[in-house]
Structure 1
Amino acid sequence: MTATLLLVIDAQESFYHRGYLETEETPAFEQKLSQLIAGCQACGIPVVDVFHVESEGPFSLSSGLVKRLPFLSHQAMTTVHKGVHNALTDSGLDEWLRERQIKNLIISGIRTEQCCETTARVASDLGYNVTFVTEATLTFPITHKNIRLSIADLRHRTESVLINRFATIATVEECLQALA
């Protein structure tokens, strides 16, 4: 079995039912994530879907919205649910990865600076080698204290705090070339 795995984090319908609307970045994200998944599967790299769940609202299992976004049709090796910002601490995923001797994680999904970045940081601290494929992540602008951070600002910030500390930053093309 390969020692590398692709995590698709929170690419779920719930987001669009909690006020996060599609952005001008959405089509590029969908294309890049689809390309990354297809490329990983062609290289024999398994994919794990990670879904965020809450007790009520659009992230609750009873909402029917905790499911892949419609553009995704891949076969996941497994699916896990998390109730915190990272994919490893409360989902059983860390133990599952260790049982399969997975050492390298490729990170993709929704909320670049939240669940994806947090997963990268925790994974690094737990000893995994992390590749963060920013263009296969999606986020939404944030305004705090009258300062608006754009999607580009958030991506730049995430890459800046992860690189050379918690993860290797790669494009889809660079990631797939490294796997070949």
Structure 2
Amino acid sequence: MGQTALLVIDVQDSFLHRPYWDEGELPPYREAQLALIAGAEARGAPVINILHTDGDEPFRLESGLVKPQAWLRHQPATTFIKHVHNALTESGLQPWLQARGIRRLMISGIRTEQCCETTARVASDLGYEVDYVTEATLTFAMTHPLSGRVYSAAELRERTELVLAGRFATIVTVEQALQRMEAAGALAV
């Protein structure tokens, strides 16, 4: 499966220290994320951890919180640190992928509509084939700044699928992502 890599974006302790952190959506997300990692590893695809750092206290390297959450026990092929919303800009990830001939990315991680979605958009613009594994992404309710309407995590995931599908990514389940990875590998042989 040398053409595919799994990105595990921002699954880090920093989020545990944000006021919007909500454990409610964590169990199904964690189960999907771990299944996706196990499936990618079983098929020989590199699993790449991406961590985010910026000036916000829990995201500062000095905070000691810019590290994978404890339940992530896989050994990543590599880890990159990003300072912007997407994982490909100035992190070193893109040259790493290019050097290995990787052309398909499976996107997973924390903040469905932010860093995961932004990475999918940039990856698509750079010519990568993108599988967006929504069930292996996590987000939190948000309040609209003008109307005051609260959008649930489910609504945010649905909106992300809507704007990415057919333009920037193929929206897939964990099972579909792993099947597509196998099919792409079989075609590349």
Structure 1 residue identity aligned to 2:106: I
| Residue 31 of structure 1 pairs with residue 31 of structure 2 | yes
1:5-44 equivalences under 5 Å are 5-44=5-44
**Matches of 1:156 and 1:75 in 2, distance apart?**
31
Aligned partner of 1:119 in structure 2 is 119
Aligned partner of 1:168 in structure 2 is 170
For residues 121-171 of structure 1, what are the alpha-carbon distances to aligned partners after superposition, in whole Å with 9 as ceiling and x for unaligned? 000000000000000000000001211111111011000000000001000
Segments of structure 1 that go 5 or more residues without pairing to the other structure are none
1:83-94 equivalences under 5 Å are 83-94=83-94
Q: TM-score normalised to the size of structure 2?
A: 0.92
**Matches of 1:92 and 1:160 in 2, distance apart?**
29
Q: Bigger shift: 91-100 or 132-141? A: 91-100
Q: Bigger shift: 124-133 or 23-32? A: 23-32
Aligned partner of 1:159 in structure 2 is 161
Count matched residues: 180
How far the C-alpha of 1:56 sits from its partner, in A, is: 5.2
Aligned partner of 2:48 in structure 1 is 48
- In 2, are the aligned partners of 1:29 and 1:138 still within 8 Å (CA)? yes
**Matches of 2:59 and 2:16 in 1, distance apart?**
10
2:178 alignment partner, SS class: helix
Aligned partner of 2:68 in structure 1 is 68
2:156 alignment partner, SS class: helix
For residues 59-108 of structure 1, what are the alpha-carbon distances to aligned partners after superposition, in whole Å with 9 as ceiling and x for unaligned? 11111111111111001011000110000012011111111111000000
**Matches of 2:69 and 2:52 in 1, distance apart?**
13
Segments of structure 2 that go 5 or more residues without pairing to the other structure are 183-189
- In 2, are the aligned partners of 1:23 and 1:140 still within 8 Å (CA)? no
1:102 alignment partner, SS class: coil
For the aligned residue pairs, the C-alpha RMSD in angstroms reads 1.1
Structure 1 residue identity aligned to 2:58: P
**Matches of 1:54 and 1:161 in 2, distance apart?**
27
| Segments of 4+ moved more than 6 angstroms | none
How far the C-alpha of 1:23 sits from its partner, in A, is: 3.3
How far the C-alpha of 1:20 sits from its partner, in A, is: 3.0
- In 2, are the aligned partners of 1:13 and 1:67 still within 8 Å (CA)? yes
